């Protein structure tokens, strides 16, 4: 049985693109607060592993797939905005600048190993006007997503540069996820 340790509709949609329908979605409760001095890369890897292990503890006989996405501007981690003011601040920080989106994917096998991959995508927004920031915040698309934007929605019109995996920015790098599932024997080569 394949369990997705998430309640993210974006991850479920991405898996469906590659023909993967999890048998169950099992959200896990993991504290996503970065540790003191924790770098964005390490945070993504730690959170994905913690989510996979929490899912495996709940469903020990299942293959558990978990992921975590971190938006980083230099060493600064831009998490899920708490409110409209923070969403506007994040967009102001990202305006006209390159940033990184890192997603760690972790697969826990029943009674077996845990494997993980980290994918980094670099992207840049155009310089945003105050009106664009206000419009984006008013849309509500910033809620519950790292960095305060969803590239698969209206924020994509602001992307002037992208190097790497688009699906990674949405929340699940499909190539690496496919490779993990094939390696575990869940998908045919």
pLDDT at position 189:
66
- Residue 83's contacts (CB-CB under 8 Å, 6 or more residues apart) are none
Q: What is the pLDDT of residues 73-113, one digit of tens each?
A: 999 999 999 999 999 999 999 999 999 999 999 999 998 78
Stretch 158-184: mean pLDDT, rounded?
96
Stretch 159-179: mean pLDDT, rounded?
97
| Active-site option among 13, 68, 83, 135 | 68
- For the chain, the straight-line distance linking the first and the last C-alpha, in angstroms and rounded, comes to 18
C-alpha–C-alpha distance, residues 72 and 79, integer Å: 9
Q: Tell me, which fold does domain 2-183 have in CATH?
A: Maf protein (3.90.950)
* pTM of the shown model: 0.92
68 is catalytic: yes
Q: Are 145 and 110 in contact (CB under 8 A)?
A: no
Residue 136, pLDDT above cutoff 90? yes
């Amino acid at each position: 049985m394949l369990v997705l340790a998430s309640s993210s509709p974006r991850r479920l949609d991405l898996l469906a693109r590659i023909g993967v329908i999890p048998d169950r979605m099992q959200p896990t409760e993991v504290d996503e607060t970065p540790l003191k001095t924790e770098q964005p890369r390490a945070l993504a890897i730690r959170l994905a592993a913690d989510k996979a292990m929490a899912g495996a503890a709940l469903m020990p006989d299942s293959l558990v797939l978990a992921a975590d996405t971190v938006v980083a501007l230099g060493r600064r981690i831009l998490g899920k905005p708490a409110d409209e003011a923070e969403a506007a601040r994040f967009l102001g920080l990202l305006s006209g600048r390159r940033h990184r989106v890192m997603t760690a994917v972790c697969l826990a096998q029943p009674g077996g190993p845990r494997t993980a991959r980290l994918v980094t995508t670099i992207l840049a927004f155009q310089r945003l006007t105050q009106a664009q920031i206000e419009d984006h915040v008013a849309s509500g698309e910033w809620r519950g997503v790292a960095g305060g934007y969803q590239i698969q929605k209206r924020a994509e019109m602001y992307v002037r540069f992208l190097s790497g995996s688009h699906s990674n920015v949405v929340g699940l790098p499909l190539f690496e996820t496919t490779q993990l599932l094939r390696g575990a024997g869940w998908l045919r080569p």
